[in-house]
Structure 1
């Protein structure tokens, strides 16, 4: 606050023109303070309206441009991030997808064969990447600490290659839908038709070695196929059932009226049907070859 001293008349007269000028300056100063204005110091650029405003360097200045003078300690950093500071996308940790649902190729068949080698795919390779293959890949990925995407990416594929061998022709196109079961110990000697109910497979074995394998089906719960050790006692190439009046080609009887034989119904309907106790084979070529090799007296072993 500016104080204005009072003077008497004599003082005003004695001051003359100089005193009047001083009083005028004082009044102008008081008016500036009460209006809220800030008086610029002499020589300031803002005091000259024609002076250009100072410019600051651009945020995305190109390399090689003259560097700006360092900012004063009190200067605030710019809130706008540099456009050149954008982070590049990080690579996908799972790698590139090679195969996924809906794919159909030889590589898919190889994938299924390799997964089958280590117990993640429980049927014959088909070459089609369906829901069963997705679940198998997820199972493999989960046990190896990988993301369970169900897609075969480069990381999953390389991990699988390192744990398996190159599939053989028989592994890529196996003789049975389900894996052939480990043979029962009763099948390891002599000439044996070795049949597993759990795997639904038949293996023709000689001295412990598998000669051929094929898919089979059995009787229903009301007409079950008997289990145990038997012998082939009669072969009938063009047999017809006297009870059901149905064809039983390549029949090899082992227990009463039960026999191993070809079934056109099995070939057409698959496992939707069942026999009346016989062991049905759906591949006519394989059962024809088996019929030609089997002799009366050869052993038949049927087990769970």
Structure 2
């Protein structure tokens, strides 16, 4: 997709700002079709913690759960979910459970333990988009480039996998930054694929088009950049083309990469 000159150095996240409660759109796993829930078919999910609880619990990620399962303010231990989440099969497979796509008491307990270990709240055992993305990230840790999509180069390479919505950094067959979850471009503003070089780095960049902050920005193609976001990485439909990272992951990528390093992007974000 072509963009006009004013859009250069202006990439930012695209949030849903009007209309009914949005379906949480999160990276979808590359698994058998029966295990994939299309974003248009997900249940109506909402952030699973009330504002007061978020301020005190401070989870790494807030899972999106059915509205009926949002814990009331002051409830510290939510009940175990009886609902089957959109990433139930993915979680079952990773956790060594019977892969039948149906929630059971034992499944719920196993998923809850996983959520607690990875600071996903509320830890109800509902396999929502945040749990699915975390499972996918952990699956990739052992050998993220197993399929060989990212070129094995002598220089540092940021590998951006749009299919799995993951990014890692490698060099000469060695992983320098383990896979992390990303948010790529929204529909009609997809992150462009190809091989690029980082041509500009700005730790405290502000978009000249949208006026939004782009911390730890590392530009690689006509305004598209790797950068951190302050909001929930799983909110909204996606970015304006940039590769969004959590603040922690954006800082780590900043410390590993340098100007002139390669950024290799491939695949297609599920649902776009």
TM-score (norm 1): 0.44
- By relative contact order (CA 8 Å, sep 6+), the higher-ranking structure is 2
Which structure is higher in helix share? Answer: 1
TM-score (norm 2): 0.49
